[in-house]
Structure 1
Amino acid sequence: MSFIADKQTLDDLSLLGKYNANSIFSLFNQVKTRGAEKLLDTMFLHPLTDADQINARSAAFRYFGDQPIPFPFEEQLLGSTEAFLDEGSNSNFPLALWQISRKKLAALLVKDDAYELQLQGIANCVQLLKGFTTLLGQLEKEGRDKNTPWEKWVAGARSIVRDKRLQNINDERSLLQTARLHYLLAHVFQDKLKALLALTYEIEVYITVSGIAKAKGFSYAKALPKEKNVLAAKGVKHPGLDKAVPNTLSFNGNSNVLFLTGANMAGKSTLMKATGIMVYLAHMGFPVAAQELEFSVLDGIYSSVNVPDDLNRGYSHFYAEVLRVKKVAEEVDADKHLFVIFDELFKGTNVKDAYDATLAVTAAFTAFRDCFFIISTHIFEVGDALKTEGDHIQFEFLPTIMEGTVPKYTYTLQKGITTDRQGMIIIENEGILDML
């Protein structure tokens, strides 16, 4: 089963986007090779839903964080070798010999460069094999070849560089030797070499991501089976903010809804996005911007932060919000374990309707104990009505401290419901009314 996160959620949390400098993908995309970038993209598109797989990947990142090494291969060499292998070779040696002979003859007669390109491809592959051999010996000497994330890579490298058919490769080769080597590399060992390249890209991702985690002070989450039905996080921050204020959050089957209040600019949206990003990255097995995180595996995450209207369909902003709530309600009602974020429910309608709808929807969601919800609103009066619904709702707020007429924000959660409203103060401080 795939982890669920639709386009709205991915956009709300700015998770994807190679060309978006502010995306979470870009934060981790400091790899040097195209192969590693493709793998990183795949990891972002397909979070995991198995606790053991998540913990295994986290352990691999942690290993390289504890034992940092620079990535030992050049991007150009890996890329050219991959291109050489993709071309392949004939399925039998006589045909391979005939093909390379034709290319050499064409090079002599009509100055065709195909033969030189073939020789360069072989040379690049041989050079990379020498690098593999050196690294393999180093890993074996240091005892990293067993019971470490290097183990699969080591096994793959051994099966190639220690094969008798690839021993004693000289730089000077006859046409027959060149054809034989091309046949071995691009046909006989093609699949093994491609698999080893894939493992090499995986190692690069481990090295790069763990280095970023160490530099930024991220930690690694512990995944639990779905039936545990808990999520406990300490020191949650937004990974894109270097000076973010940490907060602590906790959910379980008996306390599955967080009702969040606070004035404009108090930090509600940032906190909710930070939590959603943390949940998503945790299911990838990636480091998270938190001091600690322990969580039960979920089926997916849904958010409603920046719901756009749809002029083509004639949907107003409010109707788009209603459809988003309907979509989430259908998924929740399908017995899925989900993390749900609603930032300012029903802000596209009048205060009375927004009050009634927020109250009804929030109260209804408390019944789905296998799902966790964060619901924010400016309509703090809803919180007072929700207190009669039982103990399944947590009430927390982000406070505002007034210094004269200037609001200051702590960005630190407190228990309870705030009545802070500083909208008009901010408007007056900006001198808008004086302009008018």
Structure 2
Amino acid sequence: MSFIIDKQTQEDLNLLGKFKKNSIINLFNQTHTRRGELLLERMFMTPLQDTEQINQRSSIIKYFEDIDIEFPVPNSLYSDVISYIESSSGSKLSTVLGTISKKINFFIVGDNSFEIIQKGIVSMAKMLNIVKEFIDKINLSDNPYQAQSDEIKSIFDNKLSAIIANQNFGHLSFIQTLRYDKLFRYSYRYQLGRLIEILSEIDVFIAVSKTARVKKMSYARAIPKEEHSTQIKDLFHPSLKTPVSNSVSINRNKNIIFLTGANMAGKSTFMKSYGIATYLAHMGFPVPAKDMTFSVLDGMYTSINVPDNIALGYSHFYAEVLRVKHVAEEVSKSKNMLIIFDELFKGTNVKDAFDATVSVTEAFGKWDNCAYIISTHIVEAGEVLLNNNNIQFLYLPTKLDNNRPLYTYKLEQGISSDRHGMMIINNERIVEIIQDKSETIKFDK
């Protein structure tokens, strides 16, 4: 069973998209190879759900951060090796006959395919020598990547080690070309294919570890889902240059965070940060926090930027209703989920939004195997919910400096009392601009 997440949640959190500005995947995409990049994309599409697997991957990435090592194979050399390996026809006989045919074509019509094979052999030998030296650097005692390191070392048996160490691959005869081509593309085809897979993985781990170091991320510890607990110290948004951090915890007894605060106070950023950290933690990737411990979840849904649907005739409010309904159906299946709602029912009038926010929050809270973050501008809804013991009331305050709002972006306990909307409108002189324009029109007439 895979981690549950839908396109809406991915877009709310800006998780994917190689060409999207500030997407989370782009923060980590410092890979050197195309196969490494593709592997990174697959990891982003398939978060883990096994506690041991999550912690194992996390420890491996941390290990590569600790040893601070560069990916050893130049991209051009790696690409040459990939092209050479992928040109293999498969069987021993066809490999040999194909090489002979290319040699004949070289003499008859000047086809350079034979020279390409020779170049591939030389590239493979160079890469193998590089990897052989590299594995000694990362194969330290008691490291979490020991199994893969040992697997690479086993590929270099006595025969292969002797060949790449003692031969001059710069001047290959026709017979030598046949011999090494058969060796690399047939006899050691599986082992070298596996070596390339591991190198792609190493490429990803080194790239991710570099992001962790630059962004000052940490490594979350996964605990069994039955514990229903998440604790995050100094959480921040990884895309911000100077983020403000907040600490937060959710458990079965306090499974709802009811979040209030003015516009621009940082509610959406905080909720996105929490969702991103949760997702990365399930990938075994470093998280934007000083420390994090979390129970493994079945999935997560967010409702932050829900669009209307003109094609189906859905208003913004009806789209919100359908989104909440879908989430309710998933929660009622007893799945362990993280649910994030930003400004519930903002597409309808204040009275309906108030009633709906209170009712939906109380109903969701009864499913205490799930965790919820629900934000609203309707602070009166929070006051009605105060008697619910499973709800944490947090807000992001607004300070005033000569009638100018200042935002701390730091969570505080309680419900916001900020009502500065009209003050901001007055500061921008919107009403005066309209009135001045109206008077100008009258005067012109």
TM-score range, shorter chain: over 0.9
> Could you tell which deviates more after superposition, 7-16 or 200-209?
200-209
State how far apart, in whole Å, the 2-side matches of 1:102 and 1:368 are.
Answer: 69
- Identify which range, 341-350 or 36-45, moves more after superposition: 36-45
Aligned partner letter, 1:214? R
More off after superposition, 293-302 vs 103-112:
103-112
- The separation in 1 between residues aligned to 2:386 and 2:417, in whole angstroms, is 15
Task: Check the 8 A contact 1:399/1:411 in 2, yes or no.
Answer: yes
> Which residue is 2:331 aligned to?
332
- AA aligned opposite 2:63: Y
Once the two structures are superposed, what CA deviation does each residue of 1:267-322 show, in whole Å capped at 9, x if it has no partner?
Answer: 10000000000100110111111111111000011000000000110000000000
The question of whether the paired residues in 2 share the 8 Å contact of 1:153 and 1:200 is answered with: no
1:325 partner SS? helix
Aligned residue number for residue 438 of structure 2 = none
Point out the more displaced range, 335-344 or 24-33: 24-33
Between 1:197-206 and 1:305-314, the stretch displaced more is 197-206
More displaced 10-residue stretch of structure 1: 80-89 or 370-379? 80-89
CA contact (8 A) 2:60 2:145 kept: no
User: Shift of residue 166 of structure 1?
Assistant: 5.9
Summarize deviations over 1:24-71 as a string: whole Å, max 9, x none.
011111112111111111111111111111111111111112111111
* Counterpart in the other structure of 1:136: 135
Separation in 1, partners of 2:172, 2:76: 24
Structure 2 residue runs without a partner (length 5+): 435-445
1: distance between equivalents of 2:433 and 2:408? Answer: 31
Which of residues 400, 412, 436 in structure 1 aligns to 2:398? 400
The residue number in structure 2 matching 1:162 is 157
For residue 286 of structure 1, give the secondary structure of its aligned residue in structure 2. Answer: coil
Q: 5 Å matches for 1:12-411?
A: 12-93=12-93, 95-139=94-138, 144=140, 146-164=141-159, 167-168=162-163, 169-171=167-169, 172-388=171-387, 390-411=388-409
Deviation per CA, 1:60-85, whole angstroms, max 9, x where unpaired? 11111211111111111112211211
Cα distance in structure 2, aligned partners of 1:420 and 1:403: 14
| Aligned partner letter, 1:99 | G
Q: Supply the distance in 1 between the matched residues of 2:248 and 2:19 (Cα, whole angstroms).
A: 32
Superposed displacement of residue 365, structure 1: 0.9
8 Å CA contact 1:233, 1:249 repeated in 2: yes
Equivalent pair of 2:337/2:369 in contact (CA under 8 Å): yes
Contact residue 230 and residue 295 of structure 2 kept, 8 A: yes
Within 1, Cα distance between the matches of 2:295 and 2:286?
16
Secondary structure in 1 matching 2:335: coil
Identity %: 47
Q: Quick one: which amino acid aligns to residue 117 of structure 1?
A: I
Amino acid at match of 1:400: T
**Residue 2 of structure 1 aligns to which amino acid in structure 2?**
S
SS in 1 for 2:241: coil
The one-letter code matched in structure 1 to 2:428 is E
> TM-score scaled by structure 2?
0.93
Give 1:34's aligned amino acid: R
Query: Partner of 1:407: helix, strand, or coil?
Result: strand
SS at match of 1:396: strand
Q: Distance in 2 between matches of 1:78 and 1:63?
A: 24
Q: Tell me, in whole angstroms, the C-alpha distance in 1 between the residues paired with 2:345 and 2:338.
A: 19
Displacement of 1:138: 4.3
2:410 is matched with 412
Report the TM-score when normalising by structure 1. Answer: 0.95
- 3-state SS in 1 of match to 2:30: coil
How many equivalent pairs are there?
A: 430
1:73-111 Cα deviation digits (max 9, x unpaired): 111111221121112145124x43332222111111111
State the secondary structure of the residue aligned to 1:167: helix
User: Counterpart of 2:9 in 1: which secondary structure?
Assistant: helix
Give, in whole Å, the separation in 2 of the partners of 1:165 and 1:241: 49
1:123/1:137 Cα in 2 relative to 1: closer, same or farther (>3 Å)?
same
2:284 counterpart letter in structure 1: G
Residues 71 and 92 from structure 1, CA distance in 2 versus in 1: closer, same or farther, beyond 3 angstroms? closer
Runs of 4+ in 1 over 6 A off after TM superposition: none
Unaligned runs of 5+ in 1: none
Q: Contact 1:90/1:183 (CA < 8 Å) preserved in 2? A: no
Q: Which digits, 9 at most, give the CA deviation of each residue in 1:362-382, with x for residues without a partner?
A: 010110110000000000000
Task: Name the amino acid aligned to 2:16.
Answer: L
